[in-house]
């Protein structure tokens, strides 16, 4: 029987890590990244960069390979419709909470983490850690800097004005938001040491802008 730590060790060489898990009828183990560890590995080989969704394609290739070795299924958050409920799973497996910006916030990592997939086993996985008993860091954050720095006030704590954000990014490709990553996200003081490297942040903003332009 495979253990939680053994799976985690298989993921480390490619910059992924396990993000908790739970057992219902099946055993679900979440896979993700913290900070820019994934960025150190992604793109190391020319073939990694496969358009139109290079990071998704890279993730799929590596996790399918590991799932084959583990004899389990793998589910991805970017495959749908009928998308898997990753945010619900994340809140069930780990101490993450809705943030004023939308993405789940972690008390240690802040907004600098992500969920890239989930391994699903028919049987048990030994050593799944219990969900940590932690509270949302947003509860005691009264200044809410994340809601004050966006150049177009795209966030109000309840909604995200996507068109305003898109218009700004498309007209300001040399802005800090595009070069370094979302300014509102970077304003959050939680988990600063895990913040994405500039080129990592730029990649996500560039891909976000491209995806929205394609839909339009």
Please state, as a whole number, how many other Cβ atoms lie within 10 Å of the Cβ of residue 19.
Answer: 25
Q: Which residue has the tokens 């300014």?
A: 183
How far apart, in whole angstroms, are the C-alpha atoms of residue 93 and residue 60?
22
* pLDDT at 88 (0 to 100): 98
Which residue from 55, 31, 9 is spatially nearest to 121, judged by alpha carbons? Answer: 31
Domain locations in the chain as residue ranges? 4-134, 138-215
Percentages helix, strand, coil for the chain (3-state, rounded to 5) are: 45, 15, 40
* pLDDT at 75 (0 to 100): 98
pLDDT per residue rounded down to tens, the chain (216 residues): 899 999 999 999 999 999 999 999 999 999 999 999 999 899 777 677 878 899 999 999 999 999 999 999 999 999 999 999 999 999 999 999 999 999 999 999 999 999 999 999 999 999 999 999 999 999 999 999 999 999 999 999 999 999 999 999 999 999 999 999 999 999 999 999 999 999 999 999 999 998 876 555
Which residue from 87, 54, 42, 102 is spatially nearest to 206, judged by alpha carbons? Answer: 54
Which residue from 22, 34, 38, 33 is spatially nearest to 119, judged by alpha carbons? Answer: 22
pTM of the predicted model as reported, rounded to 2 decimal places: 0.93
* pLDDT at 169 (0 to 100): 96
How far apart, in whole angstroms, are the C-alpha atoms of residue 9 and residue 210?
34
Q: In what order do the strands lie in the sheet with 73-75?
A: 17-23, 27-34, 113-121, 73-75
């Amino acid at each position: 029987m495979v253990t939680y730590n053994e799976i985690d060790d298989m993921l480390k060489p490619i910059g992924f890590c396990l993000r908790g898990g739970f057992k219902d009828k099946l055993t679900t183990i979440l896979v993700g990244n913290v900070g820019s560890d994934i960025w150190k590995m992604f793109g190391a080989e020319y073939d990694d960069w496969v358009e139109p969704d290079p990071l998704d394609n890279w993730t799929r290739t590596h996790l399918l390979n590991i799932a084959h070795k583990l004899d389990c299924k793998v589910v991805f958050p970017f495959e749908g419709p009928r998308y898997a409920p990753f945010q619900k799973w994340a809140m069930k497996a780990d101490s993450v909470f809705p943030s004023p910006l939308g993405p789940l916030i972690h008390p240690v990592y802040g907004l600098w983490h992500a969920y890239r997939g989930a391994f699903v086993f028919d049987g048990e996985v030994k050593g799944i850690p219990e969900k940590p008993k932690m509270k949302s860091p947003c509860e005691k954050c009264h200044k809410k800097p994340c809601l004050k720095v966006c150049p177009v006030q795209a966030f109000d704590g309840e909604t995200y004005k996507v068109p305003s954000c898109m218009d700004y990014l498309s007209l300001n490709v040399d802005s800090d938001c595009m070069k370094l990553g979302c300014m509102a996200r970077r304003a959050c003081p939680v988990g600063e040491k895990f913040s994405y490297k500039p080129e990592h942040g730029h990649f996500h903003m560039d891909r976000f802008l491209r995806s929205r332009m394609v839909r339009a």
